């Protein structure tokens, strides 16, 4: 499987589109790299670029971007609200798929070495790429910023990791490293006061604020060091600033551990702090891209605050998150352009599940062999669990059952997860069939070509067995939602859950047929025997469970 890393270089130019375009053109010139997002900021005079690809290609693309920025940006003339120290201020690598943080850090070190040696730019490593933890924090490295670095770089403890110990007036220095996904996030205030924004930033950020006495004098410990009062949120860095373009102050935030400190909690903490200080949060904005999970978690959080079921579609969860945090206050929020998974999948969407119902039926009825029984079985499973999820959501909002909304919300969330898995399998089954056809189309003129062709067919056949088996597994698992809704759900919808069970049984039996027919042409008979035994057990369980559910429905309706 391909290794993928993301790279998010920050360039110290946010106004001159000609310069920005030349930098991004240099990045895009590398084959195998996808430019996901270009986010210029006028007031910060800074552009955040996001690219993704295999490691070697990303290193080359980042190098070309840094090289072009050093050529075009004159730091001696740069002014902006954001802290900065170079034409390419910071360039982090983030592991995305099939690669460890250690491997990602090694690739970032290769880039840093090349930038230092070939471009003669002083480079500092940070976060997971930096072994010296006393200088791994970006804010510590960048302290003093561009203006202060001419002197700072001469201090022995601040000798660069790569490149000359000489600060270039034109290009400045660069920080390169590896880190987890960082969410850059600004919270908007109904105030122009930087002081008020900073107060909120100090309240929430992990580093907090320096303790002072009633006269405003710093309080020191016995060793003479400043005492800090920690903020409320771990893995959060924040400062306050005023954005002329918007006519309002913002709390500018970096969330470095978004799984531990979610986006919505950061928003809520800013809201509470602002309220306590007489300010009101009016909305917020994301800088660059955000992981899908952060948006889905936010949507669920705000729905549950309203005591409503969170077992709704991803689109609905994203909509709730955007509206709850005011992410569209300063401009439109397009999930396809702002959520990393959606951007990565652009142009590679599932063609079947995105069809209208009539188009899907027409495609199935055409002379094309795909979609066939496997995809239809998976979609039968989708319909079945969707019905059960509907019953859960109806139960969560049923009058008189207000104290049970969370119970049914949990069931609806389970149903949504099964639904998403089965939707993916609708197209995956067709792709697995096409892979077999592609194998048969390979040349077979020589012994070597015959061997390659045979192996390709066998690999595709194995996958064509595994996909319908997965349909069976997920469809069977989804029947727990149907049975629960028949037993405890809204009695007015009991037959809907029963129909769901019929669909799930059909999905299991139909997928089993595909497992069996594909095992007939697979050479590894031990593998085949194990799969057939497993599939037979799943079918037996599904038939038994469907019978129990239908019996419960019939008993209830008389």
Q: Is 429 a catalytic residue?
A: yes
Window from 213-227, 374-388, 389-403, 461-475 with minimum mean pLDDT: 213-227
One domain for residues 368 and 279: no
Asked if residue 368 and residue 318 are part of one domain, the reply reads no
CA atoms within 13 A on the CB side of 134: 2
pLDDT of residue 474: 98
**Which band of pLDDT confidence, cut at 50, 70 and 90, is reported for residue 400?**
very high
pLDDT in tens, 191-250: 999 999 999 999 999 999 988 888 778 888 778 788 889 999 999 999 999 999 899 999
Confidence of residue 328 (pLDDT cuts 50, 70, 90): very high
Query: Last residue of some domain: 178, 213, 244?
Result: 178
pLDDT for the residue numbered 344: 75
Give the CATH number, domain containing residue 200. 3.30.70.670
Determine the Cα–Cα distance for residues 416 and 411; give it in Å rounded to an integer. Answer: 9
Distance CA 129, CA 179 (A): 8
3-state secondary structure of 535: helix
| Lowest-confidence pick of 64-68, 209-213, 293-297, 384-388 | 209-213
- For position 349, what pLDDT does the model report? 61
Catalytic residue (choose from 89, 161, 429, 496): 429
Residue 12 lies in a domain: yes
How confident is the model at residue 4, as a pLDDT?
A: 86
* One domain, residues 245 and 105: no
pLDDT at 544: 97
CATH of the domain at 449: 1.20.120.680
Q: Which of 231-240, 364-373, 413-422 has the lowest mean pLDDT?
A: 364-373
Q: Is 349 inside a domain boundary?
A: no
| Last residue in a domain, options 278, 310, 344 | 344
Q: What is the pLDDT of residue 273?
A: 97
Residue 498 within any structural domain of the chain: yes
Domain that holds residue 14: 4-178
d(CA 166, CA 396): 65
Residues 278, 362, single domain; the answer is no
Residue 347 confidence class, pLDDT cut points 50, 70, 90: low
Q: How far is CA 500 from the centre of its chain?
A: 31
Same domain, 368 and 502: yes
Contact status, residue 281 vs residue 287, Cβ threshold 8 Å? no
Residue 225 confidence (pLDDT): 83
Number of structural domains (the chain) is 3
> In the chain, what percentage of residues exceed pLDDT 90?
80
Residues 68, 112: one domain?
yes
Same domain, residue pair 167 and 43 = yes
DSSP conformation class of 219? P
pLDDT, one tens digit per residue, over 517-530 is 999 999 999 999 99
The pLDDT value given to residue 1: 57
Q: Given a cut of 90, is residue 536 above it in pLDDT? A: yes
| DSSP letter assigned to residue 329 | S
- pLDDT digits 0-9 by tens, 244-280: 989 999 999 999 889 899 999 999 999 999 999 999 9
Give yes or no: residues 309 and 174 share one domain: no
Residue 350 falls inside a structural domain: no
Identify the band that residue 44 occupies on the pLDDT scale cut at 50, 70 and 90. confident
User: Does some domain include residue 352?
Assistant: no
> How high is the pLDDT of residue 451?
93
Q: Is residue 326 part of a domain?
A: yes
Cα 45 to Cα 125: distance, rounded to the nearest angstrom: 24
Q: What is the reported pTM? A: 0.78
Q: Which two tokens stand for residue 359?
A: 């188009």
Instruction: Tell me, yes or no, whether 420 and 444 share the same domain.
Output: yes
Q: What region does 471 belong to: left with phi over 0, alpha with psi -120 to 50, or beta?
A: alpha
41 pLDDT band (50/70/90 cuts)?
A: confident
Residues 223 and 167 grouped into a single domain: no
Return all residues near 203 (Cβ < 8 A) that are at least 6 apart: 209, 231, 232, 269, 273
Q: How far is CA 346 from CA 335, 426, 541, 548, in A?
A: 11, 18, 39, 43
Residue 424 and residue 497 share a domain: yes
Q: What is the pLDDT of residue 304?
A: 96
Q: How confident is the model at residue 482 (pLDDT cuts 50, 70, 90)?
A: very high
- Calculate the average pLDDT of the chain: 93
Q: Same structural domain for residues 148 and 189?
A: no
Active-site hit among 39, 82, 297, 496: 82
Would you tell me the crossing angle of helices 405-440 and 373-396 to the nearest 10 degrees? 170
Of 510, 291, 244, nearest in space to 379 by CA: 510
> Which of 131, 152, 178 delimits the end of a domain?
178
**Catalytic residue check, 315:** no
Residue 52 inside a domain? The answer is yes
């Amino acid at each position: 499987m391909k290794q993928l890393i993301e790279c998010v270089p920050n360039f110290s130019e946010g106004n001159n589109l000609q310069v920005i375009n030349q930098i991004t053109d240099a990045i895009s010139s590398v084959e195998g790299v996808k430019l996901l997002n270009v986010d210029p900021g006028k007031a910060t005079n800074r552009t955040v670029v996001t690219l993704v690809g295999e490691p070697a290609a990303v290193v080359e693309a980042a190098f070309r971007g840094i090289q072009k920025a050093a050529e075009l940006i004159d730091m001696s003339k740069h002014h902006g609200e954001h802290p900065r120290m170079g034409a390419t201020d910071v360039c982090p690598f983030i592991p995305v798929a099939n690669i460890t943080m250690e491997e990602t850090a090694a690739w970032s070190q290769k880039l840093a070495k090349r930038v230092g040696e070939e471009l003669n730019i002083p480079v500092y490593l940070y976060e997971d790429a930096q072994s010296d933890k006393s200088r791994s924090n970006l804010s510590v490295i960048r302290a003093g910023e561009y203006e202060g670095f001419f002197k700072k770089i001469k201090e022995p403890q601040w000798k660069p990791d790569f490149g000359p110990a000489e600060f270039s007036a034109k290009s400045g220095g660069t920080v390169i490293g590896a880190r987890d996904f960082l969410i850059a996030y600004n919270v908007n205030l109904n105030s122009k006061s930087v002081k008020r924004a900073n107060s909120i930033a100090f309240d929430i950020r992990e580093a907090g604020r320096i303790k002072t006495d009633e006269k405003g004098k710093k309080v020191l410990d016995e060793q003479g060091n400043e005492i800090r009062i920690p903020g409320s949120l771990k893995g959060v860095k924040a400062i306050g600033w005023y954005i002329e373009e918007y006519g309002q102050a913002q709390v500018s935030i970096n969330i470095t551990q978004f799984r531990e400190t979610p986006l919505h909690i950061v928003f809520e903490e800013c809201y509470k702090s602002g309220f306590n200080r007489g300010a009101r949060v009016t909305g917020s904005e994301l800088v660059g891209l955000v992981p899908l999970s952060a948006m889905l978690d936010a949507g669920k959080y705000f729905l549950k605050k309203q005591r409503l079921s969170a077992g709704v579609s991803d689109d609905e969860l994203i909509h709730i998150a955007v509206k709850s945090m005011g992410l569209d206050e300063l401009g439109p929020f397009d999930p396809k352009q702002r959520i990393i998974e959606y951007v990565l999948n652009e142009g590679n969407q599932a063609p079947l599940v995105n069809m209208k119902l009539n188009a899907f039926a027409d495609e199935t009825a055409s002379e094309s062999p795909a979609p066939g029984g496997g995809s239809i079985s998976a979609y039968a499973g989708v319909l079945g669990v969707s019905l059960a999820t509907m019953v859960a959501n109806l139960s969560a909002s049923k009058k008189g059952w207000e104290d049970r909304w969370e119970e049914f919300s949990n069931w609806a969330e389970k149903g949504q997860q099964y639904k998403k898995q089965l939707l993916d399998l609708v197209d995956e089954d067709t792709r697995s069939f096409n892979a077999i056809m592609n194998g048969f189309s390979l040349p077979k003129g020589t012994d070597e070509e015959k061997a390659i062709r045979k192996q390709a067919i066998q690999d595709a056949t194995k996958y064509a067995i595994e996909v319908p088996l997965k349909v069976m597994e997920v469809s069977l698992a989804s029947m727990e939602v149907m049975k629960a809704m028949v037993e405890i759900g809204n009695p007015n919808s009991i037959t809907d859950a029963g129909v769901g069970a019929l669909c799930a049984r059909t999905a299991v039996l139909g997928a089993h047929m595909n497992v069996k027919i594909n095992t007939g042409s697979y050479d590894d008979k031990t593998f085949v025997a194990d799969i057939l035994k497993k599939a037979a057990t799943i079918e037996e369980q599904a038939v038994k469970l469907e019978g129990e559910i239908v019996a419960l429905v019939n008993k209830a309706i008389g």
